[in-house]
């Protein structure tokens, strides 16, 4: 089931969502955009904003001028700075806060959370201090079962979606019925939802593509062309897939919307935060200067160290991500970052690619992980 994402039939989704109360925790560009998607899908949506002035602007002016300039928000979309108000009666709680603050946000909202609510991560990051994925942070902090934890991921550039440009995403939960409920809640006319039960693969696709997008931004900032970028994207997908499979994901998930789809969008869009951060670093700006210019969180920068820590524990070689870390730490000049084989030396080897029948290298790799004969 998890290997093939199944589309959710969206006909009449507005009627099915009538009366469905949902909350969005976080009012940045993605949180506000996703709240718009949910509202346009027919849900009753309340956004929680950390800053009262942002909540007031959304509630009164139907705008979030800092993060979504020029976008008119739905008239029935509510906003508040009070967690108790935002969470009251919410069947689904969508989390759209920075990865490194998620745990504290969960601690803050727990007293107001309905014991039947499903929590859905929209966050594409890894907790730096624990190397946990966001779904793991939710489970660890709130002590709830996996059937109440979901993730949504895909090629989702916030401003494009806010402008109602068509796209798709994957809603994932170990309980297929819950995944379908999540997908139905966010099935707007311009937002196509699919479902699977591969939470690990869906979540890691969103995490890992940010690291490759940083690399693309860096070489773009240096001035390298499309050949270099294509090589990095292709080899980056191989690194992503090998890491995800070693973590328990289905390799096919990484070739879908949550993997390849998200990778393409993030690597090629000038609206991508991680691409933008990489480009500024490639042009010679420091990390601090990059943060000041962007005024938004580039999750890839904080995810590089914990991902590499996990990769080393699992015996996975990630040359591109290693080079990104070297650029970020100042031990490699941006102009030296380039595509390399996923090997520890310079000996040419066959590509590790998807496909190739039952005896493909991916299948042998999976068999090795399972302890089966090659």
Question: Residues 163, 209, 335, 370: which is the catalytic one?
Answer: 209
Strand partners, 119: 93, 149
209 is catalytic: yes
What distance in Å separates the CA atoms of residue 260 and residue 201, rounded to the nearest whole number?
A: 12
Q: Which among 96, 145, 91, 95 has a CA at the least distance from the CA of 113?
A: 91
Structure tokens of 252?
A: 């096919």
Q: Which of 182, 157, 167 is nearest to 90 (CA)?
A: 182
Q: Answer whether 94's CB lies under 8 Å from 23's CB.
A: yes
- 221: alpha, beta or left? (left if phi > 0; alpha if psi -120 to 50): alpha
Secondary structure class of 101 (helix, strand, coil): helix
With b for 16 or more beta-carbon neighbours within 10 A and e for fewer, the 103-131 pattern comes to bebbeebeebbeeebbbbbbbbbbbeeeb
Asked if 275 and 210 touch (Cβ cutoff 8 Å), the reply is no
Q: How far apart are CA 31 and CA 172, in angstroms?
A: 18
Which residues form the catalytic set?
209
């Amino acid at each position: 089931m998890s290997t093939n994402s199944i589309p959710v039939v969206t006909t009449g989704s507005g009627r099915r969502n009538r009366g469905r109360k949902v909350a969005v925790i976080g009012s940045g560009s993605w949180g506000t955009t996703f709240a718009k998607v949910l509202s346009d899908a027919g849900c009753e949506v309340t956004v929680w904003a950390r800053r009262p002035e942002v909540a007031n602007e959304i509630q009164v002016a139907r705008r979030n001028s800092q993060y979504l300039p020029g976008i008119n928000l739905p008239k029935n979309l509510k906003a508040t700075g009070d967690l108790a108000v935002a969470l009251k009666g919410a069947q689904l709680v969508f989390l759209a806060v920075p990865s490194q603050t998620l745990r504290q946000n969960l601690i803050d909202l727990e007293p107001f959370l309905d014991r039947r609510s499903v929590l859905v991560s929209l966050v594409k990051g890894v907790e730096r201090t624990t190397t946990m994925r966001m779904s793991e942070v939710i489970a660890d902090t709130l002590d709830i079962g996996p059937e109440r934890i979901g993730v949504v991921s895909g090629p989702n550039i916030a401003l494009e979606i806010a402008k109602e440009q068509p796209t798709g995403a994957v809603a994932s939960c170990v309980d297929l019925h819950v995944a379908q409920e999540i997908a139905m809640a966010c099935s707007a006319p311009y937002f196509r939802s699919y479902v699977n039960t591969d939470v690990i693969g869906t979540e890691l696709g969103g995490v890992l593509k940010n690291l490759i997008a940083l690399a693309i931004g860096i070489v773009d900032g240096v001035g390298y062309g499309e050949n270099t970028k294509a090589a990095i994207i292709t080899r980056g997908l191989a690194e992503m897939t090998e890491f995800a499979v070693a973590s328990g994901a289905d390799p096919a998930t990484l070739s879908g919307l949550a993997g390849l789809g998200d990778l393409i969008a993030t690597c090629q869009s000038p609206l991508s935060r991680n691409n933008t951060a990489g480009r500024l670093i490639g042009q010679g700006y420091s990390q601090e200067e990059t943060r000041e210019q962007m005024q938004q969180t580039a999750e890839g920068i904080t995810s590089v160290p914990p991902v590499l820590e996990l990769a080393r524990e699992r015996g996975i070689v990630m040359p591109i991500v290693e080079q990104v870390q070297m650029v970020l730490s100042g031990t490699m000049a941006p102009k030296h970052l380039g595509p390399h084989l996923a090997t520890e030396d310079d000996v040419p080897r066959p590509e590790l690619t998807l496909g190739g029948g039952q005896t493909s290298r991916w299948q042998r790799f999976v068999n090795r992980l399972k302890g089966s004969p090659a």
